[in-house]
A and B are shown apart, each in its own frame.
Chain A
């Protein structure tokens, strides 16, 4: 295998994982974003009831 091909494969692997300790896959990273949004939305709804 040429060096170019090895580089390409390494780059693909690198692009397919987040490279973070957690979340490792992009799917989990997207779930994390969605969950953080849901959490914010819930907190904002609760905050809207303060002082009412």
Chain B
């Protein structure tokens, strides 16, 4: 990064952040800190919901996922439209009617205090760990860009985001998110346009799509019924719906975004805006990764994009380079034959290119195995480093600054929303209930700021000690899948099973959560099924336990 990049980075971040804090400087009540001023229009809610979900991980790690595995990851979002329709129909009217600060307040109104606490604990655990992951992503970028140590970067990024959220609250988050998202989209569009422009001159866009399709990168829909396969149409439609239903309906970081709307109408439109836009948006991000794959078929990629890993493997790198050169020649022959209309020659050349590609994959796999067998195993899933490597090596200055700014802003917007929700839930669901039940609004506001700061520190510590074997975008979704099913079940039972009481749902939720932990540790079932399994188990157990409790009561009455 040169002076121009650093200027773009600093000016954009400080102007947006200062604007957010200045705009919301007079809103110092608990209600405006936690729910905003209640005047947010639907498009701002929609963008805020989108920005909360789209963290730096989305923009940094997803193109890498597209590069390595193609469009298949898109299936995880197939549940979004249905989930958001259901939330608009059933969840939203209840949250608005009860005028709650946190989603878990409703659980106390419907069941009892312990169920509310359980809901809040599940959220805090999951989101608290998740906050560590979302700090880790921009730290990777900045540590790579500036050459700082990862630890220093995690601490400095984490502190900036924490202080910003602590000062601004919900309104600052919502006010700034739309500008942040605008910068992010401009950055991503610029990167995608330059990437297309950088493809070889004789390779048309259609040719590029054929290369991607020929190497299996365009398969976005997998009809397999194997539950051990991670991304299939069915795991996306069924498991994904439950995952998204839990995330948007029961995760305070999202609920807090859309309950800030001035009316149900505004909140609902904001959600439906996301229901329509989420899949196209993720498609474009994954497609950037797929196009990067095509680009690197004609320009040699490193054996591992994480340069620290690549340094340890000079022998493999040489072999890999040789195979890549062969593949490139075959692909050039394929382009020529295709343009001449020589079908058989083009088929032969493409088959040869595919064989060379398999060979280069074999070399990478052997190198991965060697790294895994080392005394100090190195993280070999380097999908998170693919996009940043491309940006730093291939894009001009100014654009590098814009994209690094985009990643940082994405981290800022999602992290701020997370910390804001963690602070809110800790105050409303714990502090005001268990610690200081007579707290005034001013005391609660003060406590929320300090809890936000505390959660920021927890996130920094988690990011410092964590070692993710998965790439970041998958790690975030796996984490959510473990906790979300049971959390969702608490709300579904509350909404639809009026006869089930607090005790039955509380113990069922604990058993179901333990079952999911056990499944995660011991089975190879795709994580997308966890929300569905956790939710169904909890709902069925609640019904059975309530039936048992009722029969015990009636036996007691008869005996009396």
Contacts and interface: CB of A to CB of B under 8 A. Distances in A.
Our verdict on whether A and B bind, yes or no, reads yes
Interface in A13-52: 14-15, 17-20, 26, 29-30, 32-34, 36-37, 40-41, 44-45, 47-52
A9 to B, nearest CB: 14
B218 A34 contact: no
Nearest to B223: A45
B180 to A, nearest CB: 25
Contact of B214 (A20, A26, A36, A51): A51
A11 interface: yes
A18 B219 contact: no
B245 interface: no
Interface in B497-541: none
B210 interface: yes
Contacts of B264: 15
Given A33-B84, A41-B221, A51 B71 contact: no
B213 A40 contact: no
Given A18-B269, A51-B214, A30 B219 contact: no
Interface stretch (B25-33, B272-280, B320-328, B449-457): B272-280
A44 B221 contact: yes
Contacts of A32: 276
Nearest to A20: B269
Interface in B265-303: 265, 268-269, 272, 275-276, 279-280, 283
Contacts of B84: 33
A50 B211 CA distance: 9
Contact of B212 (A34, A37, A51): A51
A50 B218 contact: yes
A36 B276 contact: yes
B20 interface: no
B263 interface: yes
B221 A33 contact: no
B80 to A, nearest CB: 8
A16 to B, nearest CB: 8
Question: Residue among A15, A32, A45 with the most chain B CB within 10 A?
Answer: A15
Q: How big is chain A's contact interface, by range?
A: 20 to 34
B81 A48 contact: no
A48 B211 contact: no
A36 B81 contact: yes
Contact of B81 (A11, A34, A44, A51): A34
Contact of B210 (A26, A41, A50): A50
Contact of B265 (A18, A33, A51): A18
Contact of B74 (A18, A36, A44): A44
B213 A45 contact: no
Nearest to B269: A18
A15 to B, nearest CB: 4
Given A26-B268, A40-B280, A52 B85 contact: no
Contacts of A14: 263, 265
B220 interface: yes
Contacts of B283: 40, 44
B221 A15 contact: no
Contacts of A45: 220-221
A49 B212 CA distance: 11
A30 B81 CA distance: 9
A1 B463 CA distance: 59
Interface string B234-269: 000000000000000000000000000001110011
B254 to A, nearest CB: 17
A52 B214 contact: yes
A40 to B, nearest CB: 5
Nearest to B212: A51
A30 B71 CA distance: 26
B345 interface: no
B218 A47 contact: yes
B209 interface: yes
B221 A51 contact: no
A41 to B, nearest CB: 7
A30 B213 CA distance: 33
Given A26-B268, A44-B74, A44-B220, A51 B276 contact: no
A32 B81 CA distance: 10
B218 A51 contact: yes
A51 B211 contact: yes
Nearest to A32: B276
A36 B195 CA distance: 28
Contacts of A37: 78, 81-82, 275, 279
Interface string B105-142: 00000000000000000000000000000000000000
A15 B272 CA distance: 14
A48 B75 CA distance: 13
A11 B265 CA distance: 9
Contacts of B82: 34, 37
Contacts of B211: 51
Contacts of A29: 269, 272
Contacts of B212: 50-51
B85 A30 contact: yes
Question: Residue among A19, A41, A51, A52 with the most chain B CB within 10 A?
Answer: A51
Q: Which 8 A-B pairs have the closest CB atoms?
A: A51-B213, A50-B213, A44-B220, A51-B214, A51-B210, A37-B81, A15-B264, A33-B275
12 contacts: A17-B265, A18-B269, A26-B268, A29-B269, A30-B89, A33-B276, A37-B78, A37-B81, A48-B220, A50-B209, A50-B213, A51-B212
